Structures are given as C-alpha cells and as structure tokens.
Amino acid sequence: MAICFALVAIVAGSVLFHLLSPWRVTPIASNWREMDDTLAITFLTTAIFFVGINLLVAYMVARFRHRPGSRADYHPENKKLEGWLIVATSVAIIGLLAPGLLVYAKYVRAPAQALQLEVLGQQWQWRYRFPGASGKLGRSDTSLVSAANPFGLDPRDPAAQDNVLVNNNEVHLPLDRPVKVLLRSHDVLHDFYVPQFRARMNMVPGMVTSFWFTPTKTGRYEVLCAQLCGVGHFNMRGIVVVEEEAKFQAWLKQQPTFALAMAAQSPQQPAAGPGATLQAKGQSLAQSKGCVACHSVDGSAGAGPSWKGLYGKQETLADGSVVAADEDYLRKSIREPSAQIVKGYPPIMPKMELSDDEVAALLAYIEAMKAPAAAPQQTQK
C-alpha cells in the first residue's frame, strides 16, 4: 500500500508544483503567441497521461494486491480496450506533433516585405549585417574572412558595397516590423536565441538558416547562444534593442557600410585616441569579443591566464622556456593564440579577426591592469 500512497503523492506534488511554482516563461515580446499555445497543448497532453497512468497504477496496486489464497485471472486479449488505447494514444500523439509542425511551417516562411537581418556567430561573439539601399545582402564566404573583413564579404560583389555592418554584439530593430533573420556561423554550431521573442535557430557552419518574427514591445533583450560551443559558450551573449522606427533609422545611419569599413582599414587611418579612451575601447572589446569568458580581470582562475598583473610578468611556457609578457608577446598571443602557450593551460583560444586598432585597444586595457611596480632594484646596489 505504501507504493500506492507514494504514487498519489507524486501526482499531487507535481500538479501543485506546476500551479504554484514561481518559474514562468518570460513575458512575450513578439508575434509568436502560437509558440506558447503549442507549449501549453504539449504540457496539457503530457499532464493528462502522467496523472492518468500514475493514478491507474496506484488503483491497480490497491485493488489487486496480494491476498492469501487469491489467484490471478489470465485474459490474453481485450479487443475493446486495445481499440480505445489505440484511439487515445493516436489522438494524443497527433496533438503533440501537429500544432508544432503548423507553427514551424509559418516560422520559416517570412513575409515578402520583411526587413532582412543577418546574424553572424563566431566563438564567442555576435555580429550583424543589414542590406543597404539596394535591399540585397552581398555574397559572403568564410575563405574571405580576415581582420580587415570579419564578415567575409566579397569586395567584388556590387551588392555587398552598401551592406550595413554592425561589428559588435548589440543590434537594434524597429518595432512592429517583420524581420527575417538569416543565420551564419564562421566556426562551430551556435544558436541565436532571444527568449522574449520565442524564437531561436541553429547556426550551422557552411549554410544559411532562417526564421522570422515581429518585435511587438520596445525594450532591451538579451541574446543567448543556445548550443554548447566551447569554453566561452556561457559568455556568448548579445543585445537586441527594439525601438520606434525613427530611432532605429537614426541608429542604422550611424553604422558603417562595407565600402566604408574597407576604406577605413587603409594604413593612413587617424591615430588612436588618448590612452584612457583606448583603454575603455579595450574593455568593451574584451566583453563583446568574449575574452573575459576565459581571462579574468580580477586575478581569479579561468580557462586562460588572468589579465590582472599579467602585463610585464614572467611566464613559463608549455615547453619550459620563460618569456616576459610584454607588448610583443601579448600581441603575438592574440594574433597566433597557439604559438606560445603558457604552461598549465590548454591550447583552446580561437583565432580572432581583430584589426590592429582593436589589438592596440586590448593591449592598452591589459597594460592598465599590470601589477604596481615593485620598489625597483632595492636589493641590487
């Protein structure tokens, strides 16, 4: 009988937990109410079976428990019962599958007038691209990816020239306008996921995947990578800002086109700003490019050496040699991460497409965290 009470307690506990639990889905901010409805149908269907089956087992255990002298009857077949079971399970399985398939069919068919947004994933950062006035996204290829061309666009394609590039992890979108999201990955499997939009899709290297949605509420939403993509996965986050059309247009105008970004890469670019600005740029790059996922800035342990007190420090490398972590060493470590690995760390840092400016900013930021100079040459006279 104890098992019977335990089963009833599990059923009652589960139902109460569902009704009283504070964990609810985050408020929806897109057109995909149907995603929530589908989830509710799945939940209700599985709940009916869970409660029904467990209570039936509890009843059977109580009703047909062993009594001295009693014998079990043997009924090899019951056509009527089998018929009912086939009908009930078929209805339930159709109920679980059909709504999802119907919503998915709509989810991947974007309205013709939708705004195009390309999302580019890379360990462990996000980039975004919009078509320019021509309304076309130019050709891209992973083989064209370089520090000067992190999106890998084809400079010979006229359609690529006016494409608007967002070379950081924050993108803006206009309110109440359908957006067709096209997804690419430079390296491994990632997944673009914004919980409030009830929308996500895998980003598969070598192909372009897509879905669409209409943002229905202004606000700032966090983008999460939803595929385990390496040690920095937890930190692969971005931001989507949904705002009124006019504000969005103003923001879009501030973003460089591909042609402009290529021109800015020419050697005679303006000199870097004062140290403090460069440092601040380095700090924001460390966040947006995902460096901080592995390199702490407070001295705590991570998948890579902490940046606190790193600048100028003597480091022992995997081959036993000792180097000073000076500017040259750090620059080389950013450009060629696997060339000189510090002893005790795995060679897992991905190669990043960073411009010389960006590397200089990161170096300034790392330098700012160097250990305070120990009273120099005290012991040597």
Residues engaged in binding ligand CUA (CB under 6 A): 121, 124, 190, 225, 227-229, 233, 236
Say which residue the tokens 């985050």 belong to: 26
State the alpha helices, DSSP H only, in 200-300.
245-254, 258-264, 275-288
CB 196 within 8 A of CB 28: yes
Give the closest residue to 50 by CA, choosing from 89, 92, 11, 103. 11
Q: What is the distance between the alpha carbons of residues 140 and 129, in angstroms, rounded to a whole number?
A: 11
> Between residues 122 and 283, which has the closer beta carbon with respect to ligand CUA?
122
Least distance to ligand CUA, CB of residue 228, Å: 6
Nearer to ligand CUA by Cβ, of 180 and 233: the residue is 233
* Distance of closest approach, residue 23 Cβ to ligand CUA, in angstroms: 23
- Least Å from the CB of residue 227 to ligand CUA: 5
3-state secondary structure at position 257:
strand
Instruction: Count Cβ atoms below 10 Å from residue 368 Cβ, excluding itself.
Output: 17
Strand segments (E) across the chain = 115-122, 125-130, 164-166, 170-174, 179-185, 190-194, 199-203, 209-213, 219-225, 237-243, 314-316, 322-324
- Give the residue with the Cβ less far from ligand CUA, 192 or 197: 192
Residue 172 has φ and ψ, to the nearest 5°, of: -110, 150
- Closest separation in Å from C-beta 299 to ligand CUA: 26
Residue 260 CB, nearest approach to ligand CUA (Å):
28
Closest CB to ligand CUA among residues 8, 224? 224
Identify residue 278 by its one-letter amino acid code.
Answer: L
Structure tokens at 41: 């149908």
Closest approach of Cβ 230 to ligand CUA, in Å?
7
Q: Which is nearer to ligand CUA, 47 or 188 (CB)?
A: 188
Closest CA to 55 of 1, 8, 102: 8
How many CA atoms within 13 Å lie on the side-chain side of 224? 12
CB of 86 to ligand CUA, least distance (A): 42
Instruction: Compare residues 202 and 340 and give the one whose CB is closer to ligand CUA.
Output: 202
- Would you call 175 helix, strand, or coil by DSSP? coil
CB 265 within 8 A of CB 167: no
Nearer to ligand CUA, 292 or 363 (CB): 292
Shortest Å, Cβ 349 to ligand CUA: 15
Least separation in angstroms between residue 377's CB and ligand CUA is 48
Q: Between 4 and 224, whose beta carbon lies closer to ligand CUA?
A: 224
d(CA 217, CA 238): 18
Q: Are 315 and 323 in contact (CB under 8 A)?
A: yes
CB nearer to ligand CUA: give 117 or 229. Answer: 229
> What is the b/e burial string over 124-138, where b = at least 16 CB atoms within 10 angstroms of the residue's CB?
bbbbbbbbbeeeebb
What length does the chain have? 381
